[in-house]
Amino acid sequence: MNKRVKKYSFIVLCIIIVLALPFLYIIVKNIQNDLPLREYVKESLLRRVKTDIHRLFTFTGKDKLKLPELFLEIDEKAFAELDSLRSSKLELLNHQGIAHNEQSQWDYVNATLVVNDTLHAIKIRIRGDMPSNYNRGLENSSYRFNVESKTSVFGKKKLSMVRPFLENNFYGYLFSHFFEKEGFISNDILFIRLYLNGKENGIYFLQEGFSKELVESSEYREGVIVRFKNDCEDNNGTYNSTGVPELDVYSEGKTLKDSSLSKNYNRALFKFEALKSGKLGPEQCFNTKKFANYFALCDFFLAHHSYVCHNVKMYFNPINDKFEPIAWDPSNFVRYKIKLHVQPGYTNYSGEIYYKKESYPIHNYLYRDTNFLKEFNRYIYLYSHNDSIRNFLQEHYELIEAIDPELYRDRFQEKFNSSLILDNIKSIKNWFTTDNRLIAKIYRNEKILVVKSVNPLPILLTALKLDPEITVTINKLLLPYSSDTIPIDSGDPDTWGRKFSLSSVIYGMDSTKMKYKGVVFEKKDNINSVLISEIPDTTILSFDKRNKVVSFRKKNTAVQKSLYIPPGYRFIILPGSSIMLTNHANIICESGIQALGTPENPIQFQSDGTGGILIKNSELNSELNYVNFYNLSAPKDGNWEITGAVTFYDCSVHIKNCSFSNNKSEDAINIVKGNFSIDSCNFSNILSDAIDIDYGKGTLANSVISNTGNDGVDISSARVTISNLQLKNIGDKGLSGGEKAIVNASNVSIDKSLIGIASKDRAIVNIKKLNVKNATYPLAAYQKKPEYGPAIITCSNFSCDNKKYLIEQNSILVLNKDTVRGAVPAVFKAIYATK
């Protein structure tokens, strides 16, 4: 019997081989005759199979990488509720034949989460509109949760848990971390190991949600995060009756209840509507430099999915009064390179899709702005010619190698391949050197030049040479892949030669000169013309375009409407100048300011109590010396309002021998995200805080602060060195450090305040030689915000007339080398309940 089975088995096998031979022959011949296919099989398929076999059989449970562990507990009733909802969604998709559900249709349930032995009460729901987020059972679903208790998970209150393959494994991780490294607001992503109801559930991404913690951890002031409404789905080429998508805000309920956030949101809506109606240009609505950097990096990371309409997330900066990009959802890098199906347009570079407003509305505006185009080209050149991306990838290879085998066992995902990004960088670098930048023709009888760009970068046409003796200056901007018709004003066309050369540069980069050589024809083509220009207002200001200087036409100037100084200039105020701001007029400057008065001829900035000054986004340092600021208020325009009467945002400033008095704002001076020095300055009769430093780095020396309604010096998330500081009659805290600030101070005296020195929310305040008198609480260290932690004060050579220190549990005071560990509960409430 066994011999018969073997015999028949052999016969069947032979028949199968014989039947398969023609198919194998056809496959082999096709591979032999198709070079790309042959190379793919040799270089990719066989190598992939070999690598996958190695990855599959070399990983054991003992090789698991040590990752943060999260223990999620969902009770039986809530678990059943989530599963029922998930099943009904899948049935709806199958019944209606649609591709996805709306995320807003998912309901939250109660659950608990344990992280580092801390129990958190949370509300959790399924996350995602695409079925891939929930069609593999609850054990593999994506989740979004909010921390309801007065705690936080890794400093965050809103988070998601997603299987890494849904965020492109390492591609999504690297995208998020590199953009964060480059200074963008980017959702933090961590690899974590999840335990669901006591059972290990594998590796997840823990991804930060859209909340104030996201904004503040990126060193920005709290402001609204907006997105486009669902009407930006492309329905027959239109969004809605306006043709332009409408904005929506995250956490709408909280935003509308908070007066400051509500104003910020209304301001965002107002500015976007003004942009759509043509009342504002892109430069006034968007941080064009930041968007240029963002779009350039998306080109390098093949992350074009990130700025498709329904994925656009923007932060409206309450100080800068402009929209800024948030790095989010790069989509799948691998699909681009192996030509798998992706949505139309997702594989294109920025320069190939900017005109498609139905899918890319932000591009449609930004590509009209010349400053954006210059900065975009500059960033493309910068990242293609330096090693910052390559070095970043190398820094993460160790993590990739350690975690890849386990990810592969989980989903059999392709191994991370850095060449997808590195080869793309090489390809982009060629944009600057390719000979095929333009196609151009000249038609003699019509005296026109017809030109078309075939390059993804904006190009500036500079000169047209018609003959060895005839050269015409053009100075014409050509957008990527666009065409234009340019009249030629150069005498009798019969004197032109039969050939011409057209010189061009990549816009904003004179070192990229190139010549196109063509033939002069006789016939005319019909191609539309495009020309964009902006002219600054010069009624009060004088612009020296050659030396890039702007100044007031008169030393004594009354400003009755807000002034705007564009980027690229130096704003010079002459000694002895007196500037009076009235009728809510403000000075908004995106250039460096140089106001250098003298003891005999100081510079005066005054206001009727309604106007202020904002210096922002300048690459040039600002200098103030012998300048008096009197009766200023915070700049305000409709729903836009900032806190500082004088504000420096994202720029460097040196301030010496200046006075700030009688201000009518929350801060006399606010420095945000900049390097600074303040020396020999006087602050008096201040409505609220005198000096407010956010995310900056600098020094404060030899200065006096008196009669403030709130804090003398308020430092948040910054590094500041202080010396020789006197504070008198301070309404709240003399010197306050918060939100991971590091303050090193010496020779500080405080006379009359509620709190002398305050350190809160993981701040460290170090002081040598401190004298405090007439303070209710000379020293206080505590935690105010749940996403941070306890604080530290170290103090030596300290004297005071009152030893009522408030050191909260887990906070520390080191006083003359003696450590005092906190024992007081809820210090913040204890202080301000009695104020």
**Tens digit of each residue's pLDDT (9 = 90 or more) over 450-466:** 888 888 899 999 999 88
Highest mean pLDDT among 30-34, 322-326, 357-361, 362-366: 322-326
Can you give the three-state secondary structure of 321-353, one letter per residue? CEEEEEECCCCCHHHHHCCCCCCCCCCCCHHHH
What is the C-alpha separation between 161 and 204, in angstroms, rounded? 6
Q: Which helix (H) or strand (E) holds 566?
A: none
Q: Which helix (H) or strand (E) holds 676?
A: strand 675-679
What is the C-alpha separation between 437 and 818, in angstroms, rounded? 71
What is the C-alpha separation between 460 and 465, in angstroms, rounded? 15
Instruction: Find the mean pLDDT for residues 112-129.
Output: 92
Q: Are strands 109-115 and 158-162 parallel, antiparallel or unpaired?
A: unpaired
Instruction: Give every CB contact of residue 29 below 8 A, 6+ residues apart in sequence.
Output: none
Q: Are strands 587-589 and 613-616 parallel, antiparallel or unpaired?
A: parallel
Angstrom distances, CA of residue 767 to CA of 602, 719, 780, 798: 34, 14, 13, 9
Tell me which residue has tokens 């591709």. Answer: 99
Provide DSSP, 175-227: HHHHHHHTT-EE--EEEEEEEETTEEEEEEEEEE-SSHHHHHHTT-----EEE
Please report the pLDDT score of residue 831 as a whole number: 82
Tokens read off for 218: 């990126």
State the helix-helix crossing angle for 419-429 and 288-300, rounded to 10 degrees.
120
- In the chain, % of residues over pLDDT 90: 46
Ranges of CATH 2.60.40 domains, the chain: 433-521
* Residue 97, pLDDT above cutoff 90: no
DSSP assignment letter at 65: P
- In the chain, % of residues over pLDDT 70: 85
State the helix-helix crossing angle for 288-300 and 170-181, rounded to 10 degrees.
150
Tell me the β-bridge partners of 751: 728, 773
Listed in order, strand segments (DSSP E) in 362-447 are: 438-443
Q: Which of 712, 709, 738, 737 is nearest to 726 (CA)?
A: 712
Q: Is the CATH number of domain 433-521 2.30.42?
A: no
pTM over 0.75: yes
- Tens digits of per-residue pLDDT, 346-357? 456 787 776 666
User: In a 3-state reduction of DSSP, which class is residue 766?
Assistant: strand
Of how many residues is the chain composed?
835
Tell me the β-bridge partners of 186: 327
What is the C-alpha separation between 529 and 450, in angstroms, rounded? 10
Q: Which helix (H) or strand (E) holds 600?
A: none
Contact status, residue 552 vs residue 579, Cβ threshold 8 Å: yes
Query: Lowest-confidence range among 158-167, 174-183, 239-248, 557-566?
Result: 239-248
Instruction: Find the mean pLDDT for residues 743-757.
Output: 96
What is the C-alpha separation between 723 and 120, in angstroms, rounded? 43
Higher pLDDT, 241 or 125: 125
Sign of CA dihedral 36, 42, 43, 45: positive
Q: How confident is the model at residue 779 (pLDDT cuts 50, 70, 90)?
A: very high
CB atoms within 10 A of CB 527: 16
Listed in order, strand segments (DSSP E) in 15-79 are: 69-73
CB atoms within 10 A of CB 711: 27
Instruction: Give every CB contact of residue 331 below 8 A, 6+ residues apart in sequence.
Output: 168, 303, 304, 305, 306, 342, 346
Q: What are phi and psi of 760, to 5 degrees?
A: -145, 155
- Tens digits of per-residue pLDDT, 135-178? 888 888 899 999 998 889 998 999 999 988 777 778 888 999 99
